[in-house]
């Protein structure tokens, strides 16, 4: 069944802002219908007058009007199609923007459950299917519906008996295709779901090409793809079979109606009840019904495809982030305290696999915390809670004394800067990578930030300065980190979270990074996930994490002075060996 209400709601919501255009389109469609209906009337007049032996001049005039009518109709049809496409694209672009903004506002948990490919298919594939829906809905369903109604009325006026027959055929045809439609909708839904899954897998593989090839997993990946394709093919065949069923039903209807009209007209002509012109008129009108009915049927197929898309788009828009609603509290300027108060966290929804157990600490404003722990101990997770990419299951994270969920999201992003272990570099200029495509940031500020981090030399080494195009694979891990530091420095946050790259860097880059980190942390609160001894030496406080629990927390100087502390033992054994 077509969910008419949700279709109409969607139409109303997206067409209302384009009311003027829609009104012009409606006028064009009405004009086009009137012109189409007038054609056979002219031909009928022509035939009747020709049979009656009227002078040639009169006939030529009628023919001239007919040609004018046809040409005008084509012009109107082109205008209507143009306008309908414009309306459709404007509406769907709006929807694309709305969906993209919505998806970006969702928490990371959502993004882990929905791979990029599937989201692309939803935001682009499903919305494109809808674009047709927006434009075709008015032009073809409403327009053709009006045309068919007009034809039935005119035929009825000409010969009521044929009119009644036509109405009966349209009703029977409508019932039959309605029934077939119900059978075919679920088939299409299956096809769309498979295609979303397919693109999800392809995007995932494309992203992982390096790892897939390097690990010799290509055969396995191909196997996975083949299995998907094997399932997709029969589903597609069935989806199109539904279409073929609807198509044959409409052809049978068309042929039957033509034959009946022909027989009827021939009979009435035989007994002298109809003239040749009227018989032609009836045949012509009945024939004219085929095209709009055909188009409406095709639109029904598109509508059922759109139905599946509308469902999924609506479901996506209705997805609520796992995060609690953000408040609107603000933070003071300058360095901010960071507090964890009995924080328990797990990545899975049911909280069975606990990643952080009852973590509590207080980091005073302006101090730098070195976070140490083996791989998988939960260091990055702590960083993600500070930046509120997730919310704790229990307990509270406070920044500047305010619980993170009471802060406005923009405030949190502005006052807490983070550099992750793997920095995302976009294929764009260095400038765009630094400002994240914000054209409002003047070059002078960029140069100042780069200078402030002691990276002038690095900037001078770029072949085209800020205009140098870089891509995800052009920069070393260290260079990417430098870029990310500058991003954060531009924000001028009160808290900086650095998830240090654990890979070894070349000594020159390492020195650059150390200098940059020094500058970055001056006058700010810092949480540095340290993999290097040098970083630990910079910290005021040290926190050692083991399997999601804090096993040691204290001022670095005190811990170093205490030979029984874990830190002393770590330093003795060689931290980089133990923590790697």
Ligand X SMILES: Nc1ncnc2c1ncn2[C@@H]1O[C@H](COP(=O)(O)OP(=O)(O)OP(=O)(O)O)[C@@H](O)[C@H]1O
Question: Which one, 309 or 420, has the nearer CB to ligand X?
Answer: 420
Tell me the C-alpha distance between 248 and 225, whole Å.
34
The helix (run of H) or strand (run of E) holding residue 545 is strand 541-546
Q: Is 376 in the site for ligand X (CB under 6 A)?
A: yes
> 354 pairs with which residues across the strands?
346
Q: Is 392 in the site for ligand X (CB under 6 A)?
A: no
DSSP states along 360-396: EEEE-TT-EEEEEE-TTSSHHHHHHHHTTSS--SEEE
Q: Which does 156 bind (CB under 5 to 8 A by kind): ligand X, Mg ion, none?
A: none
Question: Which one, 250 or 381, has the nearer CB to ligand X?
Answer: 381
Q: Which of 375, 476, 503, 522 binds ligand X (CB under 6 A)?
A: 375
The length of the chain in residues reads 580
Tell me the C-alpha distance between 293 and 295, whole Å.
5
Neighbouring CB atoms inside 10 A of 575's CB total: 19
Question: Which one, 177 or 377, has the nearer CB to ligand X?
Answer: 377
Residues in contact with 319: Cβ distance below 8 Å, sequence separation at least 6, in sequence order: 102, 106, 110
Report yes or no: 338 and 526 within 8 Å, Cβ to Cβ.
no
Rounded to a whole number of angstroms, the minimum distance from the CB of residue 575 to ligand X is 13
- Of the listed pieces 38-46, 305-313, 368-376, 505-513, which binds ligand X according to CB under 6 A? 368-376
Question: Which one, 386 or 434, has the nearer CB to ligand X?
Answer: 386
Distance of CA 149 to the CA centre of its chain: 39
Q: Which of 380, 468, 509, 568 binds ligand X (CB under 6 A)?
A: 380
Q: Which of 110, 347, 361, 553 binds ligand X (CB under 6 A)?
A: 347
Question: Which one, 240 or 347, has the nearer CB to ligand X?
Answer: 347
User: Nearest residue by C-beta to Mg ion?
Assistant: 380
Rounded to a whole number of angstroms, the minimum distance from the CB of residue 138 to ligand X is 45
> 526 pairs with which residues across the strands?
368, 496
Q: Which does 373 bind (CB under 5 to 8 A by kind): ligand X, Mg ion, none?
A: ligand X
Residues in contact with 70: Cβ distance below 8 Å, sequence separation at least 6, in sequence order: 39
Report yes or no: 127 and 192 within 8 Å, Cβ to Cβ.
no
- Report the Cα–Cα distance between both ends of the chain, in Å, rounded: 59
Sign of CA dihedral 130, 131, 132, 137: positive
Question: Which one, 492 or 576, has the nearer CB to ligand X?
Answer: 576
Q: Is 45 in the site for ligand X (CB under 6 A)?
A: no
Q: Which does 377 bind (CB under 5 to 8 A by kind): Mg ion, ligand X, none?
A: ligand X
Tell me the C-alpha distance between 138 and 134, whole Å.
7
Residues numbered 425-454 forming contacts with ligand X, rule: CB under 6 A: none
Task: Compute φ and ψ for 399, nearest 5 degrees.
Answer: -120, 125
Q: Is 377 in the site for ligand X (CB under 6 A)?
A: yes
Q: Is 143 in the site for ligand X (CB under 6 A)?
A: no
Q: Is 110 in the site for ligand X (CB under 6 A)?
A: no
Q: Is 381 in the site for ligand X (CB under 6 A)?
A: yes
Q: Which of 307, 335, 370, 373 binds ligand X (CB under 6 A)?
A: 373
- Of the listed pieces 189-197, 200-208, 376-384, 446-454, which binds ligand X according to CB under 6 A? 376-384
Residues near ligand X (CB under 6 A):
112, 347, 355, 373, 375-381, 421
């Amino acid at each position: 069944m077509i969910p008419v209400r949700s279709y109409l709601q969607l139409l109303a919501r997206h067409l209302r802002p384009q009311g003027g255009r829609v009104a012009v389109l409606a006028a064009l469609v009405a004009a086009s219908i009137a012109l189409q209906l007038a054609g056979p009337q002219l031909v009928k007049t022509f035939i009747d007058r020709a049979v009656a032996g009227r002078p040639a001049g009169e006939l030529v005039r009628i023919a001239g009007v007919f040609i004018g009518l046809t040409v005008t109709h084509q012009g109107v049809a082109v205008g209507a199609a143009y306008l309908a496409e414009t309306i459709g694209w404007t509406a769907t672009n709006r929807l694309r923007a709305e969906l993209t903004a919505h998806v970006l506002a969702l928490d990371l948990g959502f993004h882990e459950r929905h791979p990029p490919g599937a989201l692309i298919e939803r935001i682009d594939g499903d919305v494109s299917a809808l674009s047709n829906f927006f434009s075709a809905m008015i032009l073809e369903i409403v327009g053709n519906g009006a045309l068919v109604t007009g034809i039935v009325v005119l035929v009825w006026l000409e010969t009521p008996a044929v009119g009644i027959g036509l109405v009966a055929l349209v009703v029977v045809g409508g019932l039959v295709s309605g029934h077939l439609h119900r059978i075919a909708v679920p088939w299409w839904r299956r096809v769309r779901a498979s295609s979303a899954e397919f693109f999800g897998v392809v995007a995932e593989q494309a992203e992982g090409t390096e790892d897939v090839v390097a690990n010799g997993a290509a055969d396995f990946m191909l196997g996975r793809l083949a299995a998907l394709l094997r399932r997709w093919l029969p589903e597609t065949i069935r989806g199109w079979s539904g279409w073929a069923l609807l198509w044959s039903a409409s052809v049978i209807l068309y042929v039957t109606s033509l034959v009946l009209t022909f027989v009827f007209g021939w009979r009435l002509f035989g007994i002298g009840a109809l003239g040749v012109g009227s018989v032609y008129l009836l045949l012509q009108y009945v024939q004219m019904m085929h095209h709009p009915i055909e188009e409406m049927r095709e639109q029904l197929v598109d509508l059922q495809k759109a139905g599946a898309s509308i469902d999924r788009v609506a479901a996506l828009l209705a997805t609520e982030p796992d995060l609690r609603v953000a408040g609107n509290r603000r933070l003071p300027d300058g360095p901010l305290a960071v507090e964890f108060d009995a924080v328990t966290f797990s990545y899975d929804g049911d909280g069975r696999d606990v990643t952080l157990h009852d973590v509590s600490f207080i980091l005073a404003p302006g101090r730098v915390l070195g976070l140490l722990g083996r791989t998988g101990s939960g260091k990055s997770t702590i960083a993600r809670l500070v930046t509120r990419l997730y919310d704790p299951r229990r307990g509270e994270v406070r920044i500047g004394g305010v619980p993170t969920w009471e802060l406005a999201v923009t405030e949190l992003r502005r006052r807490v800067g983070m550099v992750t272990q793997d920095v995302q570099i976009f294929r764009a200029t260095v400038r765009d990578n630094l400002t994240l495509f914000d054209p409002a940031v003047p070059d002078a500020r960029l140069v100042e930030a780069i200078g402030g981090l002691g990276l002038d030399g690095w900037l001078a080494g770029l072949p085209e300065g800020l205009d140098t195009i870089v891509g995800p694979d052009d920069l070393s891990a260290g260079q990417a980190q430098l870029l990310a530091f500058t991003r954060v420095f531009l924000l001028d946050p009160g808290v900086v979270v650095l998830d240090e790259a654990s890979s070894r860097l070349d000594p020159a880059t390492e020195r650059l990074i150390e200098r940059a980190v020094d500058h970055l942390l001056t006058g700010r609160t810092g949480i540095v996930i340290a993999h290097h001894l040098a970083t630990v030496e910079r910290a005021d406080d040290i926190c050692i994490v083991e399997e999601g629990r804090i096993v040691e927390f204290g001022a670095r100087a005190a811990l170093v002075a205490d030979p029984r502390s874990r830190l002393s033992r770590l330093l003795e054994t060689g931290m980089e060996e133990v923590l790697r």
